[in-house]
Amino acid sequence: MMTREKQVRASYAGGCLTVAIVGEVDHHSARPLREEIDRQLYLYRPKEFRLSLARVNFMDSSGLGLILGRLALCRELSCPMRLTDVSERAARLFRMAGLARAEGLCIEEDVKKENA
């Protein structure tokens, strides 16, 4: 299912909600992305939440805010959050921002891209 100007792809199976963001995460796109992701989280109340960044081609500080806000919501819902397909550049940014140490968050780097 693609929604919000084709920027969010969501699927739910086996208690896991997977959301893939497509395109840019910046000041202009962060709010509609947040609203749609939150809608999906409240709708499914998953046991696990996976946020795929494989198709994100740009992310500014609004992206960090988006991730931190979803992490807070996942904590409220007692649902661990996993960032998947994270580029090396984004992973470095997340480490500098302290996200790598955040409780309830796992960051999986996309090693296929880095070695290709």
**Cα–Cα distance, 39 to 52 (Å, whole number):** 17
How do residues 2-23 score in pLDDT, each as one tens digit? 444 569 999 999 999 999 999 9
Residue in the block written with tokens 């090693």: 111
- Residue-wise pLDDT for 90-116, tens only, equals 888 899 999 989 999 999 998 665 444
The helix (H) or strand (E) run that includes residue 112 is helix 111-115
**CA–CA distance, 85 with 35 (Å, rounded to integer):** 22
